[in-house]
Amino acid sequence: MGRDLPEGMIKGKPISALAPMQDVTNLPFMQVVGGFGAPDYFFTEYLRVHEHSRLEPSILDCVLKNPTDRPVFIQLIGEDIPHMIRTVKGLQSYPLAGIDLNMGCPAPKVYKKNVGGGLLRDIDKVDQLLGALRESIDGLFTVKMRTGFDHTENFGRFLELINKHEVNLLSVHGRTVKELYRGGVNYDLIKQAVETVKCPVLANGNIDSVEKAQWVLNYTGAHGVMIGRSCIRNPWIFRQLREYFSGKDYYRPKLRDVFDYIKKLHTATSMGESFEKRHVNYLKKYLNFVGQGVDPEGVFLKSMRRVQSAEELFSLCKTLLLDNGNADKYFAEQPYEGLVARPNCEDGCRL
C-alpha cells in the first residue's frame, strides 16, 4: 500500500465513496451497487477489534472478491492499542486500499464501550490511538468521524490531531454522536475541516441527491462526498454523480428499475429456503429506505413492512412498481417528505 490516494474514475472530479454501514456494506451489497454504478471508493462495515478478535472472512471477501476494480478500505473500530496494531499488521498482507478508523458510530451499545463515537470523549486517547496506528500502517490511513460527542468545542483540537498524525483522508459526518440523525447537518464544520486539515476531506451526512451533493461540494470545498443511507435508497447515485460531473444528463431510474434492484438484493442476500421469513425481514432494512422514493403516500413503505414471505413481497412489488403504468413512473430523486425509514444508523453501525 502506498500513501497516495487512488484516482477516481473521472480524473480531476470529486470523489464518491460508499459509507461504512454495519450489516449493509458487505460483499453482497457491494456487488449489487457495483452493478448499478460503483463508487470511486468502497468502505467496509467495521471490523470490531478486541483481545479475542480475528480477521473476519466476510470482511476480507469485500477486498478479495469485489467484482469491481475500485479500491476497498477496511474500517476498524476499537480502542485497545496493542490489539489494533496486531490487527493492522495482519491486514497489510491483503490488497486493500487502506485502513479506516471509526470515530463516529453513534449507537449507544458501541460508544458506551469507548469505541466509535465514544472516542470523541477522550482527546488524549485519540491522540495515542492515531499515533500508534499511523506508526503501524505502511499505506493509507483514513479516519471517519463526527463533529464531537455531545458538543463541538473540541472539533478543532481533533482536526489538529488529524494533521499531527498525518492521516491521509478524513470523512466528516456533520453531526455530533448524541445527535444521531436528528436535525440538520453542520456543513460549516465540514467546511472548517476542509480549511484546517492537510489531507482531503469527504463530506458526509444527508447527501441524498446529485443536486445536494453539488451544493455540499460548493459550500464546503470538500474533495468529495461519502454517501450511506441514500445509496441504499438509490444505488444509482454514484453513476448519477459521475454522469453529472462529466456534463451529461444523468440517469433517472423508474419504478421498473426499482423492481430490478429489489430482485437483485433478494438474490444477492439469499439465505436459502429454510430461512425465507428471516431473509425477507432482513431485506426490510433496505426496503425501508427504498420505500421513501416509491410513492408520496407511503403505501409501499407501510405495506412492505407487513409482508412475511418472498411471494408476498414480490406480489406487492409487482402491483406497486410495475402494474397499472407504474413501471414508467420515475423514482423520486429525494425521499418524499414525511416518509421516515425506521433504521437510522450509519457510521459503521447496525441499521
Note whether 100 and 143 are within 8 A (CB). yes
Whether 165 has a pLDDT exceeding 70, the answer reads: yes
Whether 149 has a pLDDT exceeding 70, the answer reads: yes
Note whether 321 and 294 are within 8 A (CB). yes
How far lies 285's CA from each of 67, 279, 282, 343, 350, in Å?
Answer: 24, 11, 6, 6, 10
Using one digit for the tens of pLDDT, what is the confidence trace for 184-224? Answer: 999 999 999 999 999 999 999 999 999 999 999 999 999 99
Can you tell me the mean pLDDT for 88-100? 97
Whether 60 has a pLDDT exceeding 90, the answer reads: yes
pLDDT of residue 114: 94
Residues whose CB falls within 8 Å of the CB of residue 78, separated by 6 or more in sequence, listed in order: 48, 49, 50, 53, 84, 87, 115
Can you tell me the mean pLDDT for 248-255? 98
Using one digit for the tens of pLDDT, what is the confidence trace for 276-291? Answer: 999 999 999 999 999 9
Write b or e for each residue in 93-118: b if 16 or more Cβ atoms lie within 10 A of its Cβ, otherwise e.
eeebbbbbbbbbbbbeebbeeebbbb
Pairwise CA distance, residues 225 & 222, whole Å: 7
The residues with which 138 forms a beta bridge, in sequence order, are none
Pairwise CA distance, residues 189 & 28, whole Å: 34
Whether 157 has a pLDDT exceeding 50, the answer reads: yes
Q: If pLDDT is split at 50, 70 and 90, which confidence band does 182 have?
A: confident
Q: Which of 268, 286, 270 is nearest to 278 (CA)?
A: 270
Pairwise CA distance, residues 14 & 139, whole Å: 22
pTM flag (> 0.85): yes
Number of H helices, E strands in the chain: 14, 9
Q: Mean of the per-residue pLDDT values for the chain?
A: 95
Angle made by CA atoms 48, 52, 54, in degrees to the nearest 5: 60
Whether 350 has a pLDDT exceeding 60, the answer reads: no
Whether 343 has a pLDDT exceeding 60, the answer reads: no
Using one digit for the tens of pLDDT, what is the confidence trace for 255-282? Answer: 999 999 999 999 999 987 779 999 999 9
